[in-house]
Structure 1
Amino acid sequence: MIDWTFKQVFKGAGFLTIALLGSIFFMLMYNAFSFFSRINPIDFFTGIQWDPDTSYSIFPLLVSTFLVAIGSMVIAVPLGILTAAFLSEVAPEKLQMILKPVIEMLAAIPSVAIGFLGIVLLGPFISKLFGIQNGLNALNGSILLAIMALPTIITISEDAINSVPNSHREASLALGANKWETLFKITIPAALPGLIAAVMLGLGRALGETMTVLMATGNAAAIPKGFLDSVRTITATIAIEMGEVPYQTTHYFALFAIAAILFLISLSINFLGEYFANRLRKFDA
């Protein structure tokens, strides 16, 4: 009886989660379609300006979002994978016991605290380094998001590297390869599905971040020309404008439309991450 009760509780929790996700998806799509009934979708996706008074175009917001997210991955992916390889293959056990909790603690730092550091420390440093007036730009946001994505990338990458059978390493060493050749030519390529899953989930983390990019990127809703330009991401736009927008106006529905696009992008990235994670599980089996 107890087993049956807990089974039903867990099943109900699972169905409730699916229902909540479906409800959010339906709400976003319903309001997005309300927006597209008023605004031409072609103008929405191909325009060059987001201005609630005159024009609604997601294009500059998409460019800004992906610029910051991809910039963060350029920093976080090599650093995260190399750190995971160090922890898994090189670091002594005592050092691992120190580093792993420290890395996991990065995920516990509030995003508003990281954004504050971007304003008071990193922003002025970037401004002085490149000789520009404003250090609140895409580069600032990329560095901060890289820090926030590192715990996810390192943890999953380490699990992927640890899952590679020791027989692979032993065979490589038996053929005359040294430890570093084995790591970079055998172990890491064998762990590639798990590493890709780590990158996908880290990218999803970067795309969905709000407070840090709201505080540290300058919030200029224009198409950026480079990492030293101020940008405004989709999440920052929603956070800035949703609290003051009149209910059920075109502007109101426009915010739901960009939220729906971000939801679909994040969902696709998570599906890709789960796909590669499943390949890793099959490899373990």
Structure 2
Amino acid sequence: MNIPTSNVQSSAESGAKPRERKQRHVAEEIRGKIYVYFCVLLMIVTIFSIVYFIASRGLAPFVSQGVALKDMLLGLKWKPEGEPPLFGALPFLFGSFATSLFAAIIAAPLAFCASIYMTEIMPKFGKTVLQPAIELLAGIPSVVYGFVGLSVIVPFLRDTFPGQGVGVLAGALVLSIMILPTITTIATDSLRSLPNGLKEGSYALGATRWQTISRIILPTTLPSLLTGVVLGIARAFGEALAVQMVIGNAPHIPHSLFESATTLTSIITLEMGNTTSGSLHNNALWSLALILLMMTFLFVFVVRMLERRVKR
């Protein structure tokens, strides 16, 4: 029996097309994997390079230049050009923690109330108007926050409270506005991801809206809310320019919220440009940068622990 030549060719072509498509898909998948693995490898190498560079500079004062770690962490005087030179970083650590924690104390209640308003009280208005307005704050440069603090907050504190207006409270107020979008966004996402069955069950048992919010919603989402607070503190801890403009930059531990202080980031930005690379003063500033990096890792660790608690 003779089979037409045209039928044989069409069947061969139809069988070749799926193989070609499969080969293209395999080639695209390989190229995609190579690109993704390259990006991941580049990111890992970049992170380890940054850590190695900062650690190699930051550990030099303790390894080869005779500075004791205890003297830096617990010392109260910063005199790099003195005889002998003193590198007490405790005032900077205190200033960084004080401004960051006070900023979180101010911003967290406002962020929680705003997120509850946007998700539970007026979701439509909050999603269309309030949330975009709050997220707009995240795009404002830090120098603008510092200038507003210097022009508005500092004169108000100077006229209302004792002191010159600059100090820990001024820095905390500026930072609270800066970290408000971070905490609000995370809190809003966590409240919106809450299963509706929990709220509906609470309403079915006769609870009011405020009882549901206070006894069901907030306790259930508390780990996620705390994650937002920790990320806000990490954001405030690493801020330099805005705080530097309003905190006064005095290297001592303040005795009140209205006294001048300084932070790790402020002292690094103020003095790094006036030092010689490889000198003891320069390496001591890199040690402060290493401390700042370790604090960032600590905040990330706390966030991971809170995320594990949420998954449980």
| TM-score, structure 2 as length reference | 0.87
For the 8 Å contact 2:275–2:282, the answer to whether it is kept is yes
Structure 2 letter corresponding to 1:61: F
Alignment-derived partner of residue 4 in structure 2: none
8 Å contact kept, 2:191–2:217: yes
Q: Does 1:69 align with 2:105?
A: no
Instruction: State the alpha-carbon separation in 2 of the partners of residues 187 and 31 from structure 1.
Output: 47
Q: Distance in 1 between matches of 2:169 and 2:120?
A: 32
Structure 1: which amino acid aligns with 2:48?
Answer: G
2:176 counterpart (126, 136, 146): 146
Q: What are the Cα deviations for residues 119-162 of structure 1, in whole angstroms up to 9, with x where unaligned?
A: 11110001101032x11111011011010101110000111111
State the partner residue of 1:51. Answer: 79
Aligned to 1:90: 121
2:233 corresponds in structure 1 to: 203
Q: CA deviation at 1:278?
A: 4.6
Give the Cα separation in 2 of the matches to 1:162 and 1:92: 10
Tell me the residue number matched to 1:17.
Answer: 43
Correspondence for 1:185 among 206, 215, 219: 215
* Structure 1 CA distance for aligned equivalents of residues 297 and 126 of structure 2: 36
Contact 1:222/1:231 (<8 A) preserved: yes
Consecutive unaligned residues of structure 1, counting only runs of 5 or more, are none
Is the Cα contact below 8 Å between 1:163 and 1:191 reproduced in 2?
Answer: no
Partner of 1:253: 283
- Tell me the distance in 2 between the aligned counterparts of 1:95 and 1:199: 21
Larger CA deviation: 114-123 vs 8-17: 8-17
Note the residue ranges of structure 2 that are not aligned, 5 or more in a row: 1-26
- The match for 1:123 among 136, 154, 159 is 154
Instruction: Give the TM-score of the pair, scaled to structure 1.
Output: 0.95
Q: Secondary structure of the residue that 2:274 maps to in structure 1?
A: coil
1:250 and 1:208 map into 2 onto residues whose CA distance is 23
Number of equivalences: 281
What amino acid sits opposite 1:8 in the alignment? Answer: I
1:254-274 deviations in Å (ceiling 9; x for gaps): 001011011001111022113
1:66-118 CA-to-partner distances (Å, cap 9, x unmatched) read 01001101101111111111111111413420111111110000000000011
- Structure 1 residue 279 displacement after superposition: 4.1
Contact 1:76–1:146, Cα closer than 8 Å, also in 2: yes
Is 1:170 the counterpart of 2:197? The answer is no
2:96–2:263 Cα contact (<8 Å) kept: yes
CA distance in 2, matches of 1:125, 1:112: 19
Counterpart among 30, 35, 38 of residue 61 in structure 2: 35
For 1:196 and 1:224, the matched residues in 2 are separated by: 28
Aligned to 2:260: 230
TM superposition outliers: structure 1 runs of 4+ over 4 Å: none
| 8 Å contact from structure 2 (residues 182, 232) kept in 1 | yes
1:66·1:207 contact (CA, 8 Å) conserved in 2? yes
